[in-house]
Each structure stands twice: as C-alpha cells, then as structure tokens.
Amino acid sequence: MERTLAIIKPDAVAARHVGAVVERIESAGFEIRAMRLVRLSQADAEGFYAVHRERPFFGSLTAFMSSGPAVVLALEAPDAIRRWRTLMGATDPAKAEPGTIRRDFGASIEHNATHGSDAAETAAFELAYFFAGVTLAGA
C-alpha cells in the first residue's frame, strides 16, 4: 500500500467540483484516509511549495493557492502516487488526456484543479504538512 497527498485546489472548490473529484477518487478505488477543508495563508502555500521557490510562477502560484478554500486528502492504494497522477492528467489541462480531472475541470497550467505528490519523499512531506499528529483512518 502507498499513500499520496491530493489537493482539490481553490479553482475547483469555487466551481463546486469537490463532489465530482471525490467521486472519481472513490470510483478509481482509492481509500480516503483523511480529508480537510483548509484556507491556506500565503505563508502556508509558500511552505508547501518551497521546492518551487526559485520558479518565476512561485508568487502567482502561492497567491492562487491561498485565494480561497482548498480540500486536502490522504489517498491510499497500491501505487497511489502514480495512479493519482494518471487520474489527474498532465499539469497543463490543455495537454491532459481526455477524461482526466485536469482536462475536465482545469482552466490553465496554474488553475489546474488538483495537485498530487510526485514521489515517495514528497508524499511523506506533503502528508505531514497537513496531517501531522493525526492518526489516519485505517492506520
């Protein structure tokens, strides 16, 4: 079993796509081990995306991620990191496969509806960022 962090970003929450995204997560066979609605501060978003701090889009990305409520989830499945990234589709919705979450609900490379951890080490950091100190369901 593997765990990954998923975020339903502020664009998708504002567009009332939380239910649709969660439905896809459950239909794909993931176990939801934890789920929270959060409103990140700019500093929270900067800490979460610290690996991107040198990128030109860092300020815009962290402003967007702190612009409204987001939903963070701990997902569990065999090969969860890769499978969640496949379900989301490419970072840029215009390049994402038809039927993927980002293709269907994303508007741009920044407003791309969802986030997923990209490797085991980042998943551990990202899960702890939101769920440290919490015993996850099923643990």
Question: Strand ranges (DSSP E) for the chain?
Answer: 2-8, 31-38, 70-77, 114-116
Active-site annotation holds for 17: no
Measured in whole angstroms, how far is the alpha carbon of residue 130 from the centre of its chain? 12
Least distance CB 61 / ligand CMP (angstroms): 5
102 contributes a contact to ligand CMP by CB under 6 A: no
112 contributes a contact to ligand CMP by CB under 6 A: yes
**In this chain, which of 2, 31, 104, 110 binds ligand CMP, going by CB under 6 A?**
110
Least distance CB 118 / ligand CMP (angstroms): 7
DSSP state of 52: G
The number of residues that bind ligand CMP (CB under 6 A) is: 8
What pairing do the DSSP bridges indicate for beta strands 31-38 and 70-77? Answer: antiparallel
Residues 42-81 that bind ligand CMP (CB under 6 A): 52, 57, 61
The number of CA neighbours under 13 Å toward the Cβ of 89 is 22
Nearer to ligand CMP, 17 or 115 (CB): 115
Residue 114: name the closest of 56, 68, 82, 73 by CA: 73
Nearer to ligand CMP, 59 or 138 (CB): 59
From CA 127, how far away is CA 5, in angstroms rounded? 6
65: part of which helix (H) or strand (E)?
A: helix 58-65
4 contributes a contact to ligand CMP by CB under 6 A: no
94 contributes a contact to ligand CMP by CB under 6 A: no
Q: Catalytic amino acids?
A: 115
Give contact residues for ligand CMP (rule: CB under 6 A).
52, 57, 61, 91, 109-110, 112, 115
